Amino acid sequence: METHSKHFFKAEIQQSRDAQSDLIIVCDNFSTPENIGSIIRLAANIDISQVIVIGSKECRQSKVKKTAGAALGHVHVQYCNEDSFISYIPSNYTLVALETVKGAKNIFQSILPQKMVLVLGNEKYGVSEEVMKQCGDSVYIPMHGPIKSMNVSHAASVCLFEWLRQNMNV
C-alpha cells in the first residue's frame, strides 16, 4: 500500500491545477524567518501563487528557504515595504486581516470573499496600523481554551483551509 502524499493526492492534482485559488497572502513585518517559510509552504499546499512579505527582508533567507523547501519553486514571493505592498494586489481583491481587533468577526461565522488577500501580522504586535487601514474586513479564530494566542502559521492554516472549504467546494 502506498502511503506517500504524492500518491494519495494524485487524483486531485489536475483538478486543483484547473481551479488555482484566488488568494494572496500578506505577511506584515514578521520577525521569525521560519514563519515566513511556513507561510510559503502553506501557500503551495493550497496552490496560492503569491506571498507578499512586508518589511522582513532582513530575516535570514537561509532559514526561510530551509523551512519553505520545494514550495519556493511554486510560489512567487514579493518582498516590499509598507508603502508599496498594495501595488502588488489586484483592485478586485478584498484584504482581510486575521486579527483580534474591535469589529473582527468569528471566521467560522463569516463568508470569506473568493478573491481574498489574507493579511497576517507580526508575531508579537499583530497587523500594523498602516496595513490595517487597507483591510476591508477582519476575522478572528475563536479559542475556547485558556491560551488565547496561536503561532501565526498555525492561525494562517486555520483561515486558509476555512477559505478553501467555503470557496473551492472541497
Contacts (Cβ under 8 Å, ≥6 apart) of 29 = 54, 55, 56, 82, 121, 122, 125, 128
Q: Structurally, how many domains does the chain consist of?
A: 1
Q: Is 4 part of any domain?
A: no
> pLDDT by residue (tens digit) across 63-90?
999 999 999 999 999 999 999 999 999 9
Average pLDDT, the chain: 89
Residue 21 reports pLDDT greater than 80: no
Residues forming a β-bridge with 96: 118, 137
| Spacing of C-alpha 52 from chain mean position | 9
**Rounded average pLDDT over 121-129:** 95
Q: Is 28 part of any domain?
A: yes
Segments forming the whole domain that contains residue 152: 20-167
**DSSP state, 54?**
E
Residue 91: HSE in the Cβ half-sphere, 13 Å Cα cutoff: 0
